[in-house]
Amino acid sequence: MTNPSTPAIRFDQVSRYFGEVKAVDHVELEIGDGEFFSMLGPSGSGKTTCLRMIAGFDTPTSGQIYLYGQDVSNLPPYERSVNTVFQDYALFPHMTVGDNIAYGLMIKKVSKPEQKKRVAEMLELVKLSGFAGRKPSQLSGGQRQRVALARALINHPKVLLLDEPLGALDLKLRQQMQVELKSIQQRVGITFIFVTHDQEEALTMSDRIAVFNEGKIIQIGSPAEIYEKPASPFVASFVGTSNLVSGEAAKRITGSEQMFSIRPEKIHLGSENSAADKDMISVDGVVRDVVYLGLFTRYLVEIEGGTDLVVVEQNLKTTSMDVLSVRGQKVRLHWHKDHISRVGG
């Protein structure tokens, strides 16, 4: 954190309209220096448009974007100290891996030996030493991704933008790259802005997350805040699975009809009439369905007042035979009163 008072990126009432469509609608946002910041949301929520406006591929219809205090709203991409890792990697097919990575330096007319030295450093950073002479078409998806990362980082951008860079990789590789991206970010100390629709990805890597929906930011916070204290029904259901309870059922539990959310793993499944500590909330219900998932079991419990709650319990001692026999039984659910989150609406 070189200068904590100046944010890396600041959005001041930024809007982007495409005709009648409000892709981004009066967004206010501050991203700190050195932060790993994720923009999370479903497709069409405006997160990618925000990223493209930071990169300069798109300009705001109204409002200003500041990069370390400088208004860059109308600067072309080549005049911003920002680099992008594209969703499709966008590697130049007619150039070798080495030439791709050196592209930014070549444009800046950095001397050849210097280019070579820095390309070698970058290849080492992304664990691709020895690949400089290959063409992008000879690389796997994961390797191309690393080349795209190296090509962006070699320019020492003030901010690195990543547009769903892991979307095209398979699950194993994606999880591996998540860890690697985070460690690279900590090593280079550059602000990363990461766009994704995958909530798990956002929760794993980010310092802070902005949840987008319909062109607006619904909630900004740390992964734990977003997950534990969702500010709206949308956040509660988009980030992880959540039980949303309202109306009559809510009134029986909390005394108010206001909607609240409770995460499935926070609920403990107890036997009929089981007792609980004083800070716990207890609700009676009937197990409607049981799904055995190996690591854990998912129960669907209908509680008094007519709402179904999803409950997840780890299979610590139980076997599939044990858990499946619970179907149809009366149970009592317990959870700590601090674990519910009022989401209004």
Partner 1 sequence: MLNRASTYLYQRPKLILALLLGPPMIYMLVVYLGSLFALLVNSFYAIDGFTGQIVRKFTLSTYAQIFSIANREIFFRTAGMAAAVTVVDALLAFPLAYYIAKFSSPRIKTWLLIAVTLPLWSSYLVRVYAWKLILAKEGILSWFINLLQLDGLLNWLLSIESIGGSSLAISPLGMFIVFIYIWLPYMIIPIQTSLERVPKSLLEASSDLGAKPLQTFRTVILPLAFPGVVAGSIFTFSLTLGDFIIPLAIGNSKFFIGQAVYSYQGTGGNVPLAAAMTMGPVVIMVIYLLIARRLGAFDAL
The Cα 279–Cα 78 span in angstroms is 58
Nearer to partner 1, 147 or 333 (CB): 147
Exposure of 154 in the CB half-sphere (CA atoms within 13 A):
30
Angle at alpha carbon of residue 246, lines to 240 and 251, rounded to 5°: 130
Nearer to partner 1, 85 or 259 (CB): 85
Give me the residues that bind partner 1 (CB under 8 A), please.
55-57, 76-78, 82-84, 86-88, 90-94, 103-104, 106-108, 151-152, 155
DSSP of 261-272, one letter per residue? EE-GGG-EEEET
Nearer to partner 1, 88 or 248 (CB): 88
Q: Is the CA virtual torsion 209, 266, 235, 87 positive or negative? A: positive
Nearer to partner 1, 55 or 67 (CB): 55
Nearer to partner 1, 75 or 244 (CB): 75
β-strand pairing of 36-40 with 208-213? parallel
Nearer to partner 1, 39 or 152 (CB): 152
**R_g of the chain, CA atoms, integer Å:** 24
**Which residue bears the tokens 């991409």?**
77
The 10 Å CB-count burial string (b at 16+, else e) for 183-215 is: ebbeeeebbbbbbbbebebbbbbbbbbbbbbeb
